Amino acid sequence: MNWLSITLFAYFLNAIAMVIDKTLLKKEIKNPFVYTFYIAGLGAVLIILAIPIALIFKLSLVWPGASQFWISMLAGASFSIGLFLMFIALKREDASRLLPIIGGLTPIFVLILAYFFINESLVSRQILAFVFIIIGTFLISLEFKKHDIQFRKILWLALPAALFFG
């Protein structure tokens, strides 16, 4: 299976997950905070269950150190905040409009953060790809009305969500 097939399959699964999220937020779980809490709690339970499974199968477990532990905790908290903001936005906007905006903004924030924290830089082809991402995200975030064009109001929730995902 090549990388394109894997990517397309991953986006297909992500689309299914977002439709389920939208349905749950609309009908079953009305509060985005509660839904985020359930997802974060489920992730914590799975990590706790993974430890005994790793010990049963004699997989090596290595303590990464306190600094790596706290960085991981910060990353988990950042992801949870991103989920919360995304779920608030998902209650107000269609998944088909919101998720491409967040999906287009997240790599931009990853690049900015990687530049400052790990001194990452891009070559010319990668810069061109990022220009296409920026243009596509800009076009998706526009709302075309009869007599004018404006940014979707949901962009102001998508921006911080993408930043926290980054």
Per-residue model confidence as pLDDT tens for the chain (166 residues): 688 888 888 888 888 888 888 888 787 778 888 888 988 888 888 888 888 888 888 788 788 888 998 998 899 999 999 999 988 988 888 877 888 888 888 888 988 888 898 988 888 888 888 888 888 888 877 777 777 666 777 778 888 999 999 8
What's the rounded Cα separation, in Å, for the pair 113 and 128? 19
Q: H-helix or E-strand containing 72?
A: helix 66-92
CB neighbour list of residue 139: distance below 8 Å, 6 or more residues apart: none
Closest residue by Cα to residue 79 from 102, 112, 111:
102
What's the rounded Cα separation, in Å, for the pair 125 and 105? 19
What is the pTM assigned to this prediction?
0.79
Q: H-helix or E-strand containing 3?
A: helix 3-23
